[in-house]
Amino acid sequence: MSHVPHELHEEFPEHADALHALKTSNAHFAKLSDEYHNVNREIHRIETDIEPASDEALEDLKKQRLHLKDEIAALLAATESTGS
C-alpha cells in the first residue's frame, strides 16, 4: 500500500503518547480519531484516482478533515495544559 499523508501521528509527532492515551481513555477523542482516519483515507483514494469524485466533494472532505484536525488539536492542547 502506498503512503497515506496526513495521518495523525504524522500531523502531531510530538504528541504520539498523548494520541495513544486519549484514544484509549477518551471515547469522544477515539470517535474523532476514527472519523479523521476514515475521511483521510477517502481523500487519499480520491487523490490517487482509486475512487472518482467531483472537485467539490473532495474540497468538502478536506474541509471536514481540517475541522476534525482542529478538534483533535484542541483536545491535545487541553490535555497538555492539564498535564493529564
**pTM for this prediction:** 0.88
Whose grid coordinates read 475541522?
67
pLDDT at residue 29 in the model:
97
- pLDDT tens digit string along 12-46? 999 999 999 999 999 999 999 999 999 999 999 99
Asked if the model's pLDDT at residue 2 lies above 70, the reply is: no
Cα 11 from Cα 63, distance rounded (Å): 16
pLDDT at residue 4 in the model:
67
Asked if the model's pLDDT at residue 1 lies above 70, the reply is: no
Cα 11 from Cα 6, distance rounded (Å): 6
